[in-house]
Amino acid sequence: MTILVTGCAGFIGANLMLRLLESREPLRLVGIDNLNDYYDPALKEARLRQIEDAVIPGLTGNLYQFVGGDITDAALLDRLFAEHRFDIVVNLAAQVGTRNSLAHPHAYVESNVTGFLNVLEACRKYEVKHLVFASSSSVYGLNEKAPFAESDPTDRPVSPYAATKKCDELLAHVYSQTYGLHVTGLRFFTVYGPWGRPDMAPMLFAKAICAGEPINVFNGGEMLRDFTYVDDIVEGIVRVMGCPSDGLRGSGVSSQGQEKWPWAKTPPAAAPAYAIYNIGGSHPVKLTEFIAALEEALGRKAVQRFLPMQPGDVPATFADTSALERDFGFAPRIPLQEGLRRFADWYKQYYGV
C-alpha cells in the first residue's frame, strides 16, 4: 500500500505520519510539504525530524520519503503520482486560520482551492483508490442548529478560509460524481495537542501565561468550542483511509479498530463514491472553562484581557459524530483535561519552561 500525505510537516499531518509509521503494516509512505513561513518553520522542521527518527531502516512496513514542494505545483504532483502510483492520498495541505484569511484571501484560494484541484486532477489521472481530505467545522458558518450534522446547510461561511473549504467539498463531489473517484472529506473541529500550531489558542495562551503576559479573551469568554485532541483526529483519519466511500462500509474496518489495509472488496461502479464526516469531541466548552483547564495543566494563572468578537469567528461549534461512529465504530474520546495535560507537558519540555 502506497500512501501520500500532503502537508506532512503540519500539526495533523506530522501526527498522522507518525501513526502510520508505527502501524508496521507494509506501507510505502510519501509526505510532501512546502514548509512555508505562515508560522515558524523551525517547528515544522522539528516535526520532520521526529518523523525521520520513527523510521526503522529495513523494516518492511516502515518506508518513508519526504518531498519538499507545494501542491500548487501541478507538474511536481504529476511527476510524484506517476512515480509512486499512490493507492491512498490524504490531503492535509492548506493555508489555515480564519482571521488571517480576511487579510490574505488570495493566498487561501491559491493553496486551498487551486492546490486541492491539482490533487484531485492527479488522483483522477492516476486512478487513486481513495482520496481523504481535510475540511473544517468552519464550513458550518452561521449555522444555528446544534450539534452540527453533516446534512446541515453550509452555505453561510463567515471567512474566506471557510469558503475555500466549502469549495473543496464541492470540487470533490464533482470529481466523485463525474469520474468515479472515491473521496471522503473530514470536517475537523478545533484540533489541539502537542506539536500544535502557534497561531491557535492553546499555544497562544500557553506562551502568554508562561511569560506572565495577558491573553486575549474574545466575546467575553462566552464562545463555545468543540475541542478535539489530535490523537482522536488521527485515529479517525486512519479508520476512514482503509475504507473508501463505496457503500461497503465495514469491509475494511471493525468496531475494534483498523483491520488490514488491502481493499477487502472491489467497489461496484454504481456505488456512491463521496462522503463527509465530522470529527469532533462532541463536548463544547466555554472559552473561560478552557482557560481554567489550561491554567491547571500549566500550574499558572492567566491574566485575561477581554475583547469583542472578532470578524471571521463564530459563537459556537459542536460536532454530531454519530455518522462516524455508525460507519467506523469510533468517536473522539480523550477529555479536555487529559488532552491539555499532555499538551502542557509537551509545551514545557519543548520550550524549556
pLDDT tens-digit series, residues 271-306: 458 999 999 999 999 999 999 999 999 999 999 999
Structure confidence by residue, pLDDT tens digits, 248-266: 443 333 333 334 433 333 3
161 as an active site residue: the answer is yes
Q: Does residue 212 fall inside a structural domain?
A: no
Calculate mean pLDDT across residues 90-95.
Answer: 97
Q: Does residue 291 fall inside a structural domain?
A: no
Residue among 340, 331, 343 at smallest CA distance from 281: 331
Number of domains the chain contains: 1
Which pLDDT band holds residue 61 (cuts at 50, 70, 90)?
Answer: low
Q: Does residue 98 fall inside a structural domain?
A: yes
Out of 108, 161, 175, 277, the active site residue is 161
**Least reliable range by pLDDT among 165-174, 227-236, 249-258:** 249-258
State which residues form the domain around 76.
2-189+229-280+320-332
Calculate mean pLDDT across residues 205-222.
Answer: 93
Q: Is 149 a residue whose pLDDT tops 90?
A: yes
Position 237: which residue type? I
Which pLDDT band holds residue 92 (cuts at 50, 70, 90)?
Answer: very high
Structure confidence by residue, pLDDT tens digits, 311-344: 878 888 999 999 999 999 999 999 999 999 999 9
Q: Which residues pair with 292 in a beta bridge?
A: none
Which pLDDT band holds residue 200 (cuts at 50, 70, 90)?
Answer: very high
Q: Does residue 311 fall inside a structural domain?
A: no
DSSP string, 144-175: -SSSB-TTS-----SSHHHHHHHHHHHHHHHH
Cell triple for 314: 463564530
Within 8 A by CB and 6+ apart from 227, the residues are 189, 190, 192, 281, 284, 285, 290, 336, 339
Q: Does residue 165 fall inside a structural domain?
A: yes
Q: What is the CATH number of the domain that holds 234?
A: 3.40.50.720
Q: Does residue 13 fall inside a structural domain?
A: yes
DSSP string, 98-110: HHHHHH-HHHHII
Q: Report pTM.
A: 0.91
Q: Does residue 304 fall inside a structural domain?
A: no
Q: Does residue 207 fall inside a structural domain?
A: no
